[in-house]
Amino acid sequence: MGAWLDANLVGVVNGFAIGFLLFIVAVGLSLVFGMMDVLNLAHGAIFLLGAYVGAALAGGNPSWGGFLGALGLSALLGLAGGGALSAMTEPLRKRSHLDQALLTLGVTLVVAETLVMVYGDDPLAVGAPPGLDGSVPVLGAFYPTYRLVLIGIGAVLAVLVYLVVERTTLGALVRATVADRDMVAALGVDNRLIRVGVFAFGSMLAAVAGVLGGPIYGARPGLDSTVLILALVVVVIGGLGSVRGALLGALVIGQVDSLGRTLFPDVASFVLFGALALVLVVRPRGLFGGKLGVRS
C-alpha cells in the first residue's frame, strides 16, 4: 500500500485538485436540476466563459491583479448568465427535459462559437499567479503549488456551501424547494426568486471555476463539453439536489479520472463511465439522492 501510494501520490493529489474543482462546477448544476427540474446543458459554457476571461485577463504569465480581476469579472458574468438562463428556461419549466436540453445546448453552441470567433480555436494557456507558479515537495515528490492551493480553495468553498445549504434558513428554503417546491409556494414564498438566485449562484461558481481551473485546463474549444460531462456524471453519482452528494461524487470522479489516466491510460474514459454505471446499478438515485417529495 505504501509503495503504491508513493508511486501514485501525484495522481491522488491531482485527483483531489480536479475533484474540488468539479465540486465547484457541479454543485450549481445539481441544485438547479434537483430544485427546479431544469436540465441546464449551458453550465459547461459558463465554465468556458470563465476560462476565457481568465485567459484574457490573466494569460500565461499573470499578475495577481489580473488573476483576481478575472475571478471578479467571471463571477459577475456568471451571475448575469445564470439570471439570463433562468429567465430563458422559465417558460420551459413544465415541458420535457428534451426541450430544456435543446434550448441550453443552443446557448452553449452560441457561447462557444462566439468565443472561438473572438479568441480563435487555438488552446490558450493560463498560468498560476506569482508565488503559486512553482512546485513544493510533498512526501518526496514535487508537486505544483497552485494545485495544492486549489485543493484548499475548493475545500473552503465546499465547507461554505455546505454550511449555507445545511445550516441556514436560506439553505433550508433551498432544500425544501428541492423536496417539494409547490409546498414552498403554498407557504407564501415566491419560488421564482429562489430559482433565479440558485441559478445565478450556481452559474457564478461555474464561471469562477473556469478561472480557477485555467492553470490546469487552460482555455480551449471543447472544454465546455468535457467539463459538462464530468459535472453531469458527478451529479448523477451524488444524487440530484444534494450538496453532500455533489462533494462526494466530485471527489470520487476526481480520483477515478486522475488515477484512471495514470493506471489505465488506454481505457481511462471507460473507467469513468464504468464507475458511473456501477453507482447506478447499486444506487439508482445516486449516493445521496433521497426520495422525491410526494406529488399528487
Cell numbers at residue 211, please?
478561472
Q: Are 133 and 122 in contact (CB under 8 A)?
A: no
The torsion region of residue 172 among left (phi > 0), alpha (psi -120 to 50) and beta comes to alpha
Query: Judged by CB under 8 A, does residue 187 bind other proteins?
Result: yes
Q: Are the C-beta atoms of 43 and 228 separated by less than 8 Å?
A: yes
Q: Which of 13, 173, 198, 250 binds other proteins (CB under 8 A)?
A: 173
Which DSSP letter does residue 92 get? Answer: G
Q: Of 86 and 191, which CB lies nearer to other proteins in the complex structure?
A: 191
Q: Which is nearer to other proteins, 97 or 167 (CB)?
A: 167
Query: Applying CB under 8 A, what is the total number of residues that bind other proteins?
Result: 23
Is 197 a binding residue for other proteins by CB under 8 A? The answer is no
When asked if residue 165 is in the footprint of other proteins (CB under 8 A), the reply is: no
Q: Which is nearer to other proteins, 266 or 291 (CB)?
A: 291
Q: Is the dihedral of CA 193, 23, 119, 57 positive or negative?
A: positive
Whose cell is 484574457? That residue is 56
Which of 132, 184, 198, 240 binds other proteins (CB under 8 A)? It is 184
Per-residue b/e over 128-151, b at no fewer than 16 CB within 10 Å?
A: bbeebeeeeeeeeeebbbbbbbbb
CB of 291 to other proteins, least distance (A): 7
**Contact between residue 82 and residue 204 where contact means Cβ atoms under 8 Å apart:** yes
Of 12, 16, 72, the C-alpha closest to 248 is: 16
For the chain, count helices (H), then strands (E).
Answer: 12, 2
Choice between 88 and 189, CB closer to other proteins:
189
Considering only residues 233 through 252, tell me which ones interact with other proteins, judged by CB under 8 A.
none
* β-bridge partners, 143: 136
Angle at 76 between CA 72 and CA 246, to 5 degrees: 90
Position among 6, 121, 122, 182 found at the interface with other proteins (CB under 8 A)? 182
**Part in contact with other proteins (CB under 8 A); list of ranges 132-140, 181-189, 228-236, 249-257:** 181-189
> Does the footprint of other proteins cover residue 148 (CB under 8 A)?
no
**Contact pick of 26, 132, 176, 275 for other proteins (by CB under 8 A):** 176
User: According to the binding rule CB under 8 A, does residue 164 interact with other proteins?
Assistant: no
Provide, rounded to whole angstroms, the least separation between the CB of residue 70 and other proteins.
36
| Binding of residue 140 to other proteins (CB under 8 A) | no
Report, in Å, the least distance between residue 85 CB and other proteins: 22
Among 6, 113, 122, 190, binds other proteins (CB under 8 A): 190
Q: Reduced to 3 states, what is the DSSP secondary structure of residue 221?
A: coil
Measured CA to CA in angstroms, residue 73 lies from 32, 80, 95, 241 at distances of 22, 11, 33, 27
Instruction: Rule CB under 8 A: say whether 93 interacts with other proteins.
Output: no
Nearer Cβ to other proteins, position 244 or 261?
244
Interface ranges with other proteins (CB under 8 A)? 169, 172-173, 175-176, 178-180, 182-191, 290-291, 293-294, 296
